[in-house]
Amino acid sequence: MSFLAHQRNGEGRPLVVVHGLFGSASNWRNVALTLEESCSVWSVDLRNHGNSFHRQGMSYAQQANDLLNWLDSQNLDKVCLLGHSMGGKVVMEFALRYPSRVEKLIVVDIAPMQYDASHHEIIASLVALKAKEPWKDRRQADQLLTEFLGEEAIQTRLFLLTNLRRTADGLRLRVGIEAIEEDYTSILAAPESVVAGKTFAGPTLAIRGIHSDYVPDAALPAFKQVFSALQLVDLEGGHWLHAEQVDAFTAAVSDFIKA
């Protein structure tokens, strides 16, 4: 059996952090370093991301099962669970399937709903990037990404370039882009257990960026129906508010965990 790759910071009460689409545990390093004084932060790489295994299928049931197997492998019984974007849907599915394993749930800038497709250009750019690897340097790879995403998409391009890993013959993409492209519809879908009508009564915090449109007010009633103990915190920032507002974000997470 293959287990998810992870990074660990600090000691004490376990907080498991789950990244979003095209992300990795390394994207959460600043948050982990800030929170490590108050808890043990375990940042995982989901399937087809970071240093984890590549596998067909991106459903939330599959990813929740990956997370369960990893928790068991680390002898982590009950944890605080934080997920951003796609990772937020993974932790929702996990809490709904395995509520006894979740002490507190933190969902960052995502709602338990179906989303419209919005990553076609990114997927196409990564497919093209993989087709022409290995790359000599990130500057050349960025030129190709710019052809797909445009000059103005600087932050998105920098984020995607974190997925290039140095190998003996040059830079290669570590994202399993074929599996992601093949099952992109599962990523857009609402978590399966939400569709099945399951609910989670444990303490739940939703954090959203006020400049992001991922969690509209119209989605909140349905959110609260699934997660009955839901608390909502709005922070200045966009979809990547944990990177834009590290101090405010980590303060909100820390206060919730300690409460």
What would the pLDDT profile of 189-198 be if each residue is shown by its tens digit?
Answer: 999 999 999 9
What would the pLDDT profile of 179-188 be if each residue is shown by its tens digit?
999 999 999 9
Q: Could you report the per-residue pLDDT of 2-11, keeping only the tens digit for each?
A: 899 999 999 9
Whole-structure pTM value: 0.97
Domain 6-114+190-258 has CATH 3.40.50.1820: yes
Domain range summary for the chain, segments of one domain joined by +: 6-114+190-258, 120-182
pLDDT (tens digit per residue) in 95-109: 999 999 999 999 999
Tens of pLDDT along 211-236?
999 999 999 999 999 999 999 999 99
Q: Note the Cα 206 to chain centre separation in Å.
A: 14
182 vs 185: CA distance, rounded Å = 8
In the numeric block, the tokens 């993409």 are attached to 173
